[in-house]
Amino acid sequence: MADTYCFKDHMSGETGSIGSQSGSTPVSVGAVTIATTVDEVEALRDRWRAIDVKDIDSDIDYFLTIVRCGGTTVRPYVVYIRREGGRDLLGISRIERVSLPLKFGYRKLVSPEFRAVVVTFGGIVGTRERADEELLLDYLQGPLDTGDADLLLLRNIDVNGTLYKAASARGSCLRRSHGREISGRWMARLPDTLDRFLEGRSSKTRQRLKGQDRKLLRDYAGRLRLHRFENIEEMAELCRDMERVASRTYQRGLGAGFLNSSFDRALLEETMRQGWHRTWMLYLDDVPVAFWTGTNYASNFAIGTPGFDPDYTKDSVGRFTMFRMVEDLCADPTVSMLDFGYGEADYKTAFGECQRYESTVLITSRRPFPIAVNLAASLFSIVNSQGRRLIKETEWGRRLKRMWRGRAAAGGNAERPGGI
């Protein structure tokens, strides 16, 4: 069946306007282009590049790599609005098959699948005010109204920003998700040396960390080697060694981190080809034992999921490798910020600052089934949120979390989750 939203210019008149769902003042619109195929997205390349994209997930080449990988992606869904005065707007999303799981802790009870309009990270581009954001959301919500999708999903958006307020006000209470976890976004400004990076830590802590590094170098004298991967010619070796470490981590049991899948390899190839990717790998007797990985985009180095061999936990091989990464990044004039991402991992809270708080907004179509599943998922989210609070604030809860993670690590290979 042909897509209702084809690639064409939807003209609303020379000085046309559209009203947002919140009833604010109508916004003047020039031409609206909706791209739903790779060729149609490629036709937007020059205009896409002219708009300031901050997140790698919204870069056109990265975006198209994900689309071409197939998997859960059905097709692109990109909204380009040409505005009078040159203030063009871009809404970047994909229609994907996603699951809306009902989870209790780490246990997934059931996971119904839906088609969703999934907005990329940083995918609402060119906006200056809430009215601009609402205009893009009007068009991004279109497939829900036509029956081409059942969910609109905006992930990791600033809960204090106008986009969160605009998205959270859409649809009825029954059609919006509730109880979604709010997570801190941890980042750190990069000075010119590792010592300056650590200035915020106490003198005792700095001495302890340096002592751990000296002990590691002493205990394994002549047996350690660090290699930085960034050239695409080394990709096969990098995938092999990352897999050797990642396969032993608890994240693998959860289906997170590097899975050595065709999807992971495609993104790795693209980011290495573009010169964005770097991985620091620590070897002991030429066997990989730890790595830190990430991408440098728009002066921001975004950390991927690190990994280390649990047999060397006491030696702090992961933290040692992290410091070597930070040393290199401090010396790199093209990088100004280190983005640890969201979550409460120890290294994030220890070395980063919480820049903002983020959450996910989900809106369903008017169909009864997605509304019912969303309400059930919201109930489980509220219960799980209370559980996370207990785990975070009590010692027995932290022990329970470590036990769950240990079981996950022992659970063998897992597929990358497609859940929200």
In order, the DSSP letters of 251-316 are HHHTT-S----HHHHHHHHHHHHTT-EEEEEEEETTEEEEEEEEEEETTEEEE---EE-GGGGGGT
372 within some domain = yes
375 within some domain = yes
Q: Are residues 89 and 154 in the same domain?
A: yes
Q: Mean pLDDT across the chain, nearest whole number?
A: 87
pLDDT of residue 345: 83
Residue numbers of the domain that contains 277: 191-236+262-335
Q: Is residue 193 scored above 70 in pLDDT? A: yes
Between 350 and 299, whose confidence is greater?
Answer: 299
Q: Are residues 226 and 172 in the same domain?
A: no
25 within some domain = yes
Poorest-pLDDT segment among 91-100, 195-204, 292-301, 360-369 = 195-204
Percent of the chain with pLDDT over 90: 69
Between 77 and 418, whose confidence is greater?
Answer: 77
Between 340 and 408, whose confidence is greater?
Answer: 340
2 within some domain = no
47 within some domain = yes
pLDDT of residue 16: 40
Q: Are residues 101 and 214 in the same domain?
A: no
Q: Is residue 3 scored above 70 in pLDDT? A: no
pLDDT of residue 32: 95
- Under DSSP, the state recorded for 5 is S
45 within some domain = yes
pTM of the predicted protein model: 0.85
Summarised one tens digit per residue, pLDDT across range 237-282 is 999 999 999 998 877 776 777 888 999 999 999 999 999 999 999 9
Instruction: Count Cβ neighbours within 10 Å for each residue of 72-84 and write b for 16 or more, e otherwise.
Output: bbbbbbbbbbebe
209 within some domain = yes
Q: Is residue 54 scored above 90 in pLDDT? A: yes
Q: Are residues 143 and 177 in the same domain?
A: yes
Q: Is residue 318 scored above 80 in pLDDT? A: yes
In 3-state terms, what secondary structure has residue 413?
coil
Give the start-end residues of each E strand in 159-253: 183-189, 224-229
Q: Which of 335, 368, 399 delimits the end of a domain?
A: 335
Q: Is residue 1 scored above 70 in pLDDT? A: no
72-98 mean pLDDT: 93
Centroid of chain to Cα 60: 16
Summarised one tens digit per residue, pLDDT across range 346-378 is 889 889 999 999 999 999 999 999 999 999 998
Between 408 and 170, whose confidence is greater?
Answer: 170
Q: Is residue 10 scored above 50 in pLDDT? A: no
Compute how many other C-beta atoms are within 10 angstroms of the C-beta atom of residue 303.
21
Identify whether the C-beta of residue 93 lies closer than 8 Å to the C-beta of residue 77: yes
Identify whether the C-beta of residue 41 lies closer than 8 Å to the C-beta of residue 60: yes
Q: Are residues 286 and 394 in the same domain?
A: no
Query: What CATH code is carried by the domain that includes residue 77?
Result: 3.40.630
Q: Are residues 32 and 166 in the same domain?
A: yes
301 within some domain = yes
**Which residues are CB-contacts of 290 (< 8 A; sequence separation ≥ 6)?**
245, 281, 282, 306, 307, 308, 309, 312, 317, 318, 320, 321
Q: Are residues 372 and 283 in the same domain?
A: no
Q: Are residues 269 and 398 in the same domain?
A: no
Q: What is the dihedral of CA 387, 390, 396, 402, to 10 degrees?
A: 50
Q: Are residues 150 and 296 in the same domain?
A: no
pLDDT of residue 176: 92
31-40 mean pLDDT: 96
d(CA 66, CA 50): 21
Q: Are residues 134 and 14 in the same domain?
A: yes
- Under DSSP, the state recorded for 217 is H
Q: Are residues 318 and 377 in the same domain?
A: no
61: tokens are 């080449």
The total of structural domains in the chain comes to 2
Poorest-pLDDT segment among 34-38, 258-262, 311-315, 357-361 = 258-262
17-23 mean pLDDT: 44
Summarised one tens digit per residue, pLDDT across range 123-170 is 999 999 999 999 999 999 999 999 999 999 999 999 999 999 999 999
pLDDT of residue 257: 78
Q: Are residues 19 and 146 in the same domain?
A: yes
Between 390 and 355, whose confidence is greater?
Answer: 355
d(CA 285, CA 223): 5
